[in-house]
Amino acid sequence: MQLRRIRNFSIIAHIDHGKSTLADRMLELTQTIEKRKMMNQVLDNMELEREKGITIKMRPVKMHYKNTDGELYELNLIDTPGHIDFSYEVSRALKAVEGCILLVDATQGVQAQTLTTLHMAQEAGLTIIPVLSKVDSPLARIDDIKEEMVMLLSCNPEDIMETSGKTGQGVDVLLQEIIKKVPEPKEEIVNSGSFRGLVFDFQYSNHKGVIVYVRVMEGSVKKGDELLFKIAGEKFYALETGIFTPEEVPADKLEAGQTGYIVTGIKQPGIASVGDTITLFRKQLPELPGYMSPAPVVWASVYPEDADDFELLKQALGKLRLSDSAFTHEEESSGSLGRGFRCGFLGLLHLEIITERLKREFNLNLVIATPSITYEVTLKRQSTPSQNDRIDVGFANGILPANGLGNTYMGRIQTHEDGRRTVMIYSPSMFPDHGQVEAVREPWVKLSIITPDLYTGPIYQLLYDHEAELSDTISFGDGRAKLIIHMPLRELMRNFFDELKSISSGYASLSYEFESMRDADVTRLDILVADEPVEAFTRVVAQRRVEDEARKAVEKLKNILPRQLFVTKIQGRANGRIIASETLSALRKDVTGYLYGGDITRKMKLLEKQKKGKKKMAERGKGNVNIPHDVFLKMMKSGDN
């Protein structure tokens, strides 16, 4: 296919603005998929995507469309997610296209994530086609929303297309507009006689190995070519090349400007990476600018319920990393939960999706520890931690081992000229003891909330409850306002989004970005069962909320922990003292049940014997309370307090 007849584009929008439905109509109109195989959200082929009604993975597809000039054009579409947690998928897709459709719901208008994705497209220098969706809805405010888009893009109202993914209205005209406005792909190195492609995604197959998704920048590639990953330095042969329709269909070759896949046959993890450049081994071209590695903002520890499943979990995470390069994982150990992994995610929904995929795709039963963030802790100069303290300074190469475990990566110590030491803490259980800490810094985020004016009052109260700072309020003049807010990431994770949706009846939308590290007034909260701290229940909380959090956690654990054969104390400890306490009564065996008569002294003798036995058991049983895995799961679930 000639370059002048190829168009590469993507659809970007806020979540639930109709991207997948519009893509369905395009596939239908171009007859890419047979009518008998057509279904709603055809590009969302993951079970989770269909259940939740959202796009999680970007999905490329090749279409052919006969334009009004009679020529046949190749349209390569990459459908993208709309949720903020999957913005890394969007950024990668935008590197592989020359233009994008900015889709705005005619019933909801410009939302927070609309602005975020638009900014990404503008930074990439893409041609932007503004489009209204759901114009057939009786709730559509077409003229009002067009005014918003005119202000946002500085364009003319006539430039904004009107479409309906439900009825197909305007889709034909939109395809013609894509051909007219999106520039044709260009080769940076003309007549190179070689091949160069950008890896924007990949997946793993048990039979074929790693399958890389590439955008061909120069030259062509075919089955049997000897290729090279420029960054990894790994040589391989192309076992198969093909296109997406949207299923993988083998093709004789991929040419400049096209999007397709290459089967590498590589089965070792860690070789293929998004942003790498593939070129011919015998005639190499310079590597392309890749992608910035995403920085995780939410951390959680993942353990198998059955310790024998550790190796299976390790393999599952390695394979899942191939299809989702935005999360990270490192091995760690816990005294109570055994061996597991500390995983980094781009948000709480990202965490939920990854753990759910582990359960469904690999049949793993997991224990998910409390989600956490990174804290920068400065230790006091006079602090010389003992062998039993949480922070052990007897480390090699600046790596902190976990207390008593020796192989858990917790952070690097930086020693200042005045003798103070600063360490990055990733796990709440490794947060230093009370009295060792001189200062703590935590990540803050900048939030944009777009909401109807009616709900600004309740939102202000919510912001106060979550330690947020309101820096600016911008009125759109149509009964909606945009709030610019600064907030600790710790508070954003404390069910802020769910509470925002609740008080705004679902009308408020939110996007956020990492801003900076700021001073924090936080402390470690330990939950003790039978006088022993349970590592998995440890969390870092604000000083002003520590008593409330301790009371809630202790009460909740008392309600779900099975009774033992002796009286069990459940306590919350922070700042070196017990601040909440509950007692779980003993499970009493009826030792006199088989007696049917006789002297009362027989019963008294058995009861006294039971009493002595319980006393001995209580003395031996401290720290030996058996906590079932379902108790861990219930304690980790947010919003259950």
Q: 581: which strand partners?
A: 571
**What is the DSSP code (8-state) at residue 346?**
S
**Amino acid in the structure at residue 591:** V
Which tens digit of pLDDT belongs to each residue from 237-278? 999 999 998 888 999 999 999 999 999 998 887 788 888 899
- Cβ atoms within 10 A of the Cβ of 368, count? 20
Contact 28, 168 (CB under 8 A): yes
The whole-number pLDDT of residue 102 equals: 93
Strand 161-162 to 127-133 pairing? parallel
**Amino acid in the structure at residue 154:** S
The whole-number pLDDT of residue 405 equals: 29
The whole-number pLDDT of residue 387 equals: 37
The helix (run of H) or strand (run of E) holding residue 487 is strand 480-488
Q: Which two tokens stand for residue 278?
A: 């593939």
Average pLDDT over residues 409-433: 73
Q: Kindly tell me if the per-residue pLDDT of 166 is higher than 60.
A: yes
pLDDT band, residue 402 (cuts 50/70/90)? very low
Task: Specify the range with the lowest mean pLDDT, choosing from 261-275, 415-429, 528-542.
Answer: 415-429
Q: Kindly tell me if the per-residue pLDDT of 478 is higher than 80.
A: no
The whole-number pLDDT of residue 627 equals: 76
Q: Kindly tell me if the per-residue pLDDT of 331 is higher than 80.
A: yes
pLDDT band, residue 515 (cuts 50/70/90)? confident
pLDDT band, residue 555 (cuts 50/70/90)? very high
Stated pTM of the model: 0.69
pLDDT band, residue 14 (cuts 50/70/90)? confident
Which tens digit of pLDDT belongs to each residue from 592-624? 656 666 677 877 887 788 777 767 666 654 546
DSSP 26-45: HHHHTT-S-GGG--TTTT--
Q: Which two tokens stand for residue 84?
A: 């903020």
Highest mean pLDDT among 27-41, 172-186, 331-345, 393-407 belongs to: 172-186
- For 78, list phi and psi in degrees, rounded to 5: -120, 110
The whole-number pLDDT of residue 45 equals: 64
Place of tokens 């710790």: 490
Q: Kindly tell me if the per-residue pLDDT of 186 is higher than 50.
A: yes
* Residue of 165, 160, 136 lying closest to 146 (CA atoms): 160
* Residue of 221, 363, 376, 385 lying closest to 306 (CA atoms): 363
The whole-number pLDDT of residue 384 equals: 47
Residue of 312 and 510 predicted with greater confidence: 312
Contact 337, 369 (CB under 8 A): yes
Residue of 411 and 602 predicted with greater confidence: 602
Reply yes or no: is the peptide bond before residue 246 cis, omega within 30 of 0.
yes
The whole-number pLDDT of residue 407 equals: 34
Q: Percent of the chain scored above 90 by pLDDT? A: 28
Which tens digit of pLDDT belongs to each residue from 453-476? 888 999 999 999 899 999 999 887
The whole-number pLDDT of residue 412 equals: 58
The whole-number pLDDT of residue 389 equals: 43
pLDDT band, residue 218 (cuts 50/70/90)? very high
Q: Kindly tell me if the per-residue pLDDT of 132 is higher than 80.
A: yes
Longest dimension (CA), the chain: 108
Q: Kindly tell me if the per-residue pLDDT of 486 is higher than 90.
A: yes
The whole-number pLDDT of residue 51 equals: 72
Counting every residue written for the chain, the total comes to 641
Residue of 206 and 558 predicted with greater confidence: 558
- For 559, list phi and psi in degrees, rounded to 5: -75, -25
The helix (run of H) or strand (run of E) holding residue 144 is helix 142-153
Residue 506 CB-density burial (10 A; 0-12 exposed, 13-18 middle, 19+ buried): exposed
d(CA 444, CA 467): 11
Residue of 161 and 114 predicted with greater confidence: 161
The whole-number pLDDT of residue 380 equals: 81
Q: Kindly tell me if the per-residue pLDDT of 382 is higher than 60.
A: no
d(CA 197, CA 213): 9
The whole-number pLDDT of residue 591 equals: 61
Average pLDDT over residues 335-363: 82
Task: State whether the Cα torsion 203-206-207-209 is positive or negative.
Answer: positive
Q: How far is CA 191 from CA 188, 230, 386, in A?
A: 10, 20, 67
pLDDT band, residue 588 (cuts 50/70/90)? low
Task: Specify the range with the lowest mean pLDDT, choosing from 35-39, 487-491, 543-547, 635-639.
Answer: 635-639
Helix, strand, coil percent content, the chain, rounded in steps of 5: 30, 30, 40
Residue 561 CB-density burial (10 A; 0-12 exposed, 13-18 middle, 19+ buried): buried
Q: Kindly tell me if the per-residue pLDDT of 221 is higher than 50.
A: yes
d(CA 19, CA 152): 20
The whole-number pLDDT of residue 400 equals: 35
**What is the average pLDDT score of the chain?**
82
Residue 319 CA to its chain's centroid (Å):
16
**Amino acid in the structure at residue 81:** P
Which tens digit of pLDDT belongs to each residue from 169-181? 999 999 999 999 9
Contact 479, 451 (CB under 8 A): no
d(CA 218, CA 337): 51
The whole-number pLDDT of residue 274 equals: 84
- Cβ atoms within 10 A of the Cβ of 556, count? 18
d(CA 97, CA 161): 20
The whole-number pLDDT of residue 335 equals: 61
